[in-house]
Structure 1
């Protein structure tokens, strides 16, 4: 299972992903889902993946092969973030053409979605979601976050607390609480948690952290969030039972 989240703010971008791909009574596997393909000073590119693990790993392998081929179209010579998103979509389709028939014949679902965000020198910072079929959508000030995987548990906090105008620090807090809410309700999502923040126009990633299950900051954040929610519930006005029409 997976939960990945990209947030677009007027001052930059925040990326958050878990690292759990399988969970059971006696089976837990962790794999990185956040990948940094940045070239400091020229472009920042962060990619997060979800879906069939073999499919997403195959896409990453194709990206690296193109980077090693000096004459190929690749992440470091594409002219825009939209071109990057379309390029990633084409790699998704390539892997689908190779693997989908055999996977589906064995009743295994083929799926591979990605979030890519960043900035190319001289252009605006942007955030995209790429679907299994290769098409993409872009985050906007009106819809400033994109999710992958187990989206439903962490969405309410984003709807209520996150805005395009939020500071990067507040965006990172919202991302962490959204991730914690998902982990609290779905055992298929779990640490280590990776968080990356990018300040627009800096063309370098200078803020990132990785939080393990026993990380004191993660534990304290969860505890404080739960305590504050309980406190706020207690402060809400009582239900007007006599006037509810029961």
Structure 2
């Protein structure tokens, strides 16, 4: 299992992925799920993947090798596509090609076709964009109303993002929220694990990329996990108990059991 989150902000992009792959209880490995393609002054395109590692690696290799444009017939790669929309379409076509190649054999082995890709970035002179591409090759785009996307096991990390992330969120605050979201997932799902890969990108900069790998020994992430846990415990202790439980409200009928 995997958890990846991408945030689409006025200031830029935040993309965070775990690195755990799980092919059984005794076969747990670490693989990078976040990578980026950068041509200085021209483009910065980052991708994160979830689902079957073999399928996602096939897709990523295919978009680097190239596929023919359906209109012109010219081979396009992730480094030559003219727009971010075409980059999303290229990944969608790569997923469909991988599906045509492997789906029948996978079904014979009772293995589901499971892959999803998150794509974010910008080409010089064009708009920064963030997409989520599904296993059918179709995709959706982050908007001002929905400024973050998730792939993999997203349910544990979603509540904090729903409450706190907007387009106006500064990148540094967004990084903090992404890490809290990841910590919630790490605590509830053993299929998601450290180390983490983080990328931030400044809007309209093309070369304004920062990346880091966060391990168990990272002092900031350790501090964040401890303080967030303590804050949650303090918050629920500070909320008054329900009055029906203490019978302090004589006008309230007893709770039926």
Match of 1:202 among 189, 205, 220: 205
Task: Tell me how far 1:63 sits from its aligned partner.
Answer: 2.0
Counterpart position of 2:124: 121
Give yes or no for the alignment of 1:184 onto 2:187.
yes
Task: Tell me how far 1:149 sits from its aligned partner.
Answer: 0.7
Give yes or no for the alignment of 1:175 onto 2:191.
no
Counterpart position of 2:45: 45
Task: Tell me how far 1:72 sits from its aligned partner.
Answer: 2.4
Counterpart position of 2:16: 16
Question: For 1:164-214, what per-residue CA distance to the aligned partner results, in whole angstroms no more than 9, with x for missing partners?
Answer: 110011111111110010000000000110111111011024322111123
Mapping of 1:57-68 within 5 angstroms?
57-66=57-66
Q: Say if 1:154 and 1:179, in contact at 8 Å, map to a contact too.
A: yes
Mapping of 1:96-175 within 5 angstroms?
96-175=99-178
Runs of 5+ in structure 1 lacking a partner?
none
Larger Rg belongs to: 2
Task: Tell me how far 1:24 sits from its aligned partner.
Answer: 5.9
- Aligned to 1:94, the other structure's residue is in SS state helix
Matched residues in 2 for 1:169 and 1:238: separation? Answer: 35
Cα separation, partners in 2 of 1:25 and 1:76, compared to 1, 3 Å? closer
Question: For 1:77-119, what per-residue CA distance to the aligned partner results, in whole angstroms no more than 9, with x for missing partners?
Answer: 2121111101110000010000011011100111111000011
Matched residues in 2 for 1:75 and 1:221: separation? Answer: 36
Counterpart position of 2:70: none
Give yes or no for the alignment of 1:35 onto 2:30.
no
Task: Tell me how far 1:124 sits from its aligned partner.
Answer: 1.3
TM-score, normalization by structure 1: 0.94
Q: Say if 2:37 and 2:46, in contact at 8 Å, map to a contact too.
A: yes
Q: Say if 1:50 and 1:56, in contact at 8 Å, map to a contact too.
A: yes
Size of the alignment, in residue pairs? 243
Runs of 5+ in structure 2 lacking a partner?
68-73
Cα separation, partners in 2 of 1:63 and 1:158, compared to 1, 3 Å? same
